[in-house]
Structure 1
């Protein structure tokens, strides 16, 4: 169980990864742009952005993406879709991580200080 927010995990590794959200520990660094990540899989996914291969093309504009998820997020800007809703104020967000960060405004949690 996390000692900062009481979230529970069945595996210790899950707890360790979660605690990095509170400590801002980002041990995985991109060797091309110095961007840092809390988990290795996010670094690997990020490194694809440095290649010129962008097979995922938006059918409404000229933008292209190296990952399908990037295209999906981009297309939400065209459609106005905001699938992640705050359960306290009903504000919508394109991405879950932005919703989670927003929800801290309701709880008063300030993990980045």
Structure 2
């Protein structure tokens, strides 16, 4: 009935977030205690919730249970499929408030914002030249790699 009424009588004393079930509140408390009792036996990474470990295990098993019905591409997380679907439906929910351009990924708008701020966080360790995008630094690094392979 709480689903229908929207009642959430179990409230976290630390952050005030409310839940409809006591078990959900108990699971939530792991966030505050930083307790991570669920560990991956393959890589040692730990998680607060069992479901997070189960989702993580797909990295090791290669399982991709979420498939795009339009192009057939598969994903290990539902959220990744949802983001992928923006390609097909043309949804661009991230808007640059400076120039109005729209983007379908948060990372894309973050990268775009550097054109406005002038931020260049990727720095070449060989010559100190900086770049706004990691890919541009990688391309630049080939100059130094070629120079090492073909000394003058």
- TM-score, normalization: structure 2? 0.42
Residue ranges of structure 1 left out of the alignment (5+ in a row): 83-93, 96-113
Query: How many residue pairs align between the two structures?
Result: 83
Q: Deviation string for 1:42-76 (max 9, x for gaps)?
A: 1112111212344636x79xx75223432213555
Measure the CA separation in 2 of the matches of 1:18 and 1:49.
25
Q: Considering Cα pairs closer than 8 Å and 6+ residues apart, tell me whether 1 or 2 has the greater RCO.
A: 1
Equivalent pair of 2:86/2:92 in contact (CA under 8 Å): no
Q: C-alpha deviations, 1:90-110, integer Å up to 9, x for none?
A: xxxx68xxxxxxxxxxxxxxx
Per-residue deviation, 1:79: 4.6
- Look at both structures and tell me which one has the larger radius of gyration over its CA atoms: 2
Selected match of 2:53 from 7, 15, 34: 15
With over 3 angstroms needed to count, the CA separation of the structure-2 counterparts of 1:76 and 1:34, relative to structure 1, is: farther
CA distance in 2, matches of 1:68, 1:10: 25
- Structure 2: gaps of 5 or more residues: 1-38, 123-132, 135-152
The offset of 1:41, in angstroms, is 1.2
CA distance in 2, matches of 1:14, 1:53: 28
- Partners of 1:27 and 1:17 in 2: CA distance: 11
- Structure 1 residue 81 and structure 2 residue 121: aligned? yes
Structure-2 change in CA distance of 1:53 and 1:10 (3 Å): closer
